[in-house]
């Protein structure tokens, strides 16, 4: 599988697209180059045709059936579940079931217990009989793996809402957390923003412990229906897990004696916190889970469904629904228009679309209108920092995203806009905000500064996914690349980010990918950033990365990596079926490292050209995006378009911003 290189190093020189430039190339290289040119033209036409009239792009954001199941459970809890929605959701859920009766959380992945339980319950709500073959397979699979008692906390919370699980057997989450000052461990700002938005409303739900009449029993999902809530073993007291388990037991006792007036005040304070963070479109944080739990919490405090907060919240959830041609209804956990639009803009310009193309100008106009110019929760730790970032979603003013801000700046810088002063001011604010969000170690997280407390992940309540937001290599790389393009490669803050990235390289030469799968994504993000910031292609870190990428190239010429690399690193790192997006990430790294004439790049380009569809698109059922490593995976439907076009465009036309990158390189060497 290992491909050889010609040993070329240094910055990638511009590669002309004209046919005459291939005259001196070998026939094979010329053929690959022509195939790449054809693929670029078709992919460009396809992507331009998918732009919304307002200027944005957005692909579907596919996750797993727990989103659809919990949507039905919410509607059942509120008494608003209707036949059309139920039938459409059930059609989608049934279509995702595996042969063994289970449901996975990503394409081709293993069955997952909690997802299978939630899918099964949703289908029971839709009227599927427990003795139907597909249901019997599911319940047998669930029992074999410990039944409901072995599922995650969030699943058992949903079941407790209907009396299928005892609230007393769930971890305690007191609403008094809302009063913890930010210097006290386990205050709400110790949690990542996505967890914070979920935990605050769940403190109300945990305090209220509501139970709606169950429409049917679930005895078939217990290993022993006579003892459905078996006690969980305690970890040794001398361990962190044991200490937090005992803390949870103490909180259960405290619940019995907590002053009622204080508890009511805490729940009301939590409600105010929730309402203050409702976005203009009615959602919370632009993501589905906090919206669901916020609606439940406020309903428990007496907000009826016609209250404006509730009415707009429920309407926002309907906008997460994707209706398919077969009548099925899939729920998106989130929507990604800002991310998709800036990546599409970068791809099109790097593919040769003129910088003043009307559609690119329209995209820039839309992105400029999405800039967030008021403080959000990030200001708790950076109160003096002026705002100026971009979020991931249509509406999410409370939680701009450091990663999105960096990529939006890179996109805006590529477009020749009719109001350059407006663009410069927006870019200036974005750069200033990103620099101000640098963590103490020199790197960047996704939403917050120094969100690295070790305690939240230890809570018995937090048994699913990442609940803190530490700096990551991919986010840091995107910020470093943006700063280098802005002429700040020599800035001490940029150099600290570079040093952090160099120190974070894995022994095999790769980098861990927090928000994309996984080491291919991390490496594909870091190498272009380091080169843009002045690290030469001959640098040992770059050479190790090139060697690693060559070593994991698939026999078909592409690259792929399965999500299991998050759990089983040695067996799965850089390994998996070839995908368009992951092949593009590898190529972007190799091209930045100066490997444009290597056999590995040639084979990768050939694979992308050969697997492109006639309409200019690529197929990619595999999940290459990450919400929580291993626990929550994402298939961004636009990744299969924007990243291959970016990689092929850079192969045909050379690395972007040759003059500016050269200036940044000179500045970096001088420092």
The angle formed by the CA atoms of residues 411, 414 and 420, to the nearest 5 degrees, is: 100
Both tokens assigned to 634: 């994402």
Question: How do beta strands 61-62 and 329-331 pair?
Answer: unpaired
The angle formed by the CA atoms of residues 433, 436 and 439, to the nearest 5 degrees, is: 130
Residue recorded with tokens 């929550």: 632
Q: Which helix (H) or strand (E) holds 604?
A: helix 599-611
Q: Which residues contact 255 (CB under 8 A, 6 or more apart)?
A: 172, 174
DSSP 61-77: EE--THHHHHHHHHHHH
| Distance between CA atoms of residues 366 and 55, nearest Å | 6
Residue recorded with tokens 């969980």: 232
The angle formed by the CA atoms of residues 549, 553 and 559, to the nearest 5 degrees, is: 95
What are the helix (H) ranges across 457-518?
473-485, 492-504
Q: Which long-range contacts (CB under 8 A, 24 or more apart) does 224-230 make?
A: 228/147, 228/148, 228/149, 228/165, 229/149, 229/165, 229/166, 229/169, 230/149
The single residue of 350, 377, 401, 403 carrying the catalytic annotation is: 403
Report helix, strand or coil for 585: helix
Q: DSSP character for 227?
A: S
Instruction: Specify whether 403 is catalytic.
Output: yes
| Distance between CA atoms of residues 44 and 344, nearest Å | 10
Report helix, strand or coil for 241: helix
HSE-CB of 558 using CA atoms within 13 angstroms: 20
Both tokens assigned to 44: 């460009």
Q: DSSP character for 389?
A: B
> Using an 8 Å Cβ cutoff, are 311 and 305 in contact?
yes
Known catalytic residues are: 403
């Amino acid at each position: 599988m290992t491909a050889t290189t010609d040993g070329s190093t240094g910055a990638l020189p511009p590669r002309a697209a004209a046919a005459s430039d291939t005259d001196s190339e070998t026939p094979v290289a010329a053929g690959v180059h022509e195939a790449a040119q054809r693929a670029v033209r078709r992919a460009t036409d396809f992507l331009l045709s998918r732009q919304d009239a307002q200027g944005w792009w957005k692909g579907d954001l596919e996750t797993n059936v727990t989103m659809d199941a919990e949507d039905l459970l919410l509607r059942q809890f509120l008494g608003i579940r209707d036949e059309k929605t139920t039938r459409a959701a059930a059609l989608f859920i049934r279509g995702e079931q595996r042969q063994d009766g289970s449901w996975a959380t990503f394409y081709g992945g293993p069955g997952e217990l909690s997802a299978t339980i939630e899918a099964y319950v949703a289908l029971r709500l839709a009227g599927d009989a427990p003795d139907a073959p597909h249901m019997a397979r599911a319940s047998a699979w669930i029992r074999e793996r410990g039944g409901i008692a072995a599922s995650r906390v969030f699943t058992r919370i949903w079941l407790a809402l209907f009396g299928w699980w005892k609230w007393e057997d769930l971890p305690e989450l007191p609403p008094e957390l809302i009063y913890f000052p930010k210097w006290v461990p386990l205050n709400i700002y110790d949690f990542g923003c996505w967890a914070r938005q979920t935990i605050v409303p769940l403190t109300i739900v945990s305090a209220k412990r509501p139970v709606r009449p169950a429409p049917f029993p679930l005895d078939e999902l217990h290993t022993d229906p006579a003892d459905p809530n078996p006690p969980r073993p305690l970890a040794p007291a001398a361990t962190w897990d044991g200490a937090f388990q005992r803390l949870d037991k103490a909180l259960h006792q405290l619940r019995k004696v907590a002053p009622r007036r204080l508890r009511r005040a805490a729940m009301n304070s939590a409600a105010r916190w929730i309402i203050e963070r409702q976005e203009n479109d009615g959602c919370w944080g632009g993501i589905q889970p906090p919206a669901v739990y916020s609606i439940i919490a406020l309903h428990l405090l007496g907000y009826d469904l016609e209250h404006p907060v509730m009415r707009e919240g429920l309407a926002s959830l309907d906008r997460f629904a994707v209706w398919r041609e077969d009548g099925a209804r899939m729920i998106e956990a989130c929507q990604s228009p800002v991310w998709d639009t800036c990546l599409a803009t970068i791809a099109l310009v790097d593919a040769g679309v003129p910088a003043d193309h009307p559609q690119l100008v329209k995209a820039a106009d839309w992105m400029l209108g999405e800039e967030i110019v008021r403080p959000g929760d990030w200001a708790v730790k950076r109160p003096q920092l002026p705002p100026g970032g971009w979020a991931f979603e249509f509406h999410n003013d409370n939680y701009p995203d450091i990663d999105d801000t960096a990529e939006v700046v890179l996109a805006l810088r590529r477009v020749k806009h009719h109001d350059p002063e407006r663009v410069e001011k927006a870019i200036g604010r974005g750069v200033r905000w990103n620099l101000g969000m640098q963590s103490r170690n020199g790197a960047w997280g996704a939403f917050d500064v120094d969100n690295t407390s070790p305690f939240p992940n230890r809570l018995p309540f937090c048994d699913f996914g990442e609940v803190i937001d530490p700096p990551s290599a991919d986010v840091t790389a995107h910020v470093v690349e943006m700063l280098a393009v802005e002429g700040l490669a020599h800035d001490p803050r940029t150099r600290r980010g570079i040093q952090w990235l160099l120190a974070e390289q894995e022994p095999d030469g790769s980098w861990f990918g927090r928000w994309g799968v996984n080491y291919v994504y991390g490496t594909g993000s870091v190498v272009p950033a380091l080169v843009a910031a002045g690290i030469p292609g001959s640098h040992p870190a770059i050479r190790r990365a090139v060697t690693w990428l060559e070593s994991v190239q698939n026999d078909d010429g592409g690259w792929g990596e399965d999500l299991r690399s998050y759990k089983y690193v040695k067996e799965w790192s850089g390994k998996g079926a070839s995908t368009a997006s992951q092949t593009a990430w590898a190529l972007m790294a190799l091209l930045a490292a100066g490997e444009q004439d290597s056999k590995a790049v040639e084979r990768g380009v050939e694979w992308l050209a050969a697997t492109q569809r006639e309409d200019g698109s690529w197929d990619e059922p595999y999940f290459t995006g990450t919400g929580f490593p291993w626990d929550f995976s994402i298939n961004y439907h636009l990744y299969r378009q924007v990243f291959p076009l970016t990689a092929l465009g850079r192969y045909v036309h050379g690395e972007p911003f040759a003059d500016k990158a050269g200036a940044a390189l000179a500045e970096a060497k001088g420092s």
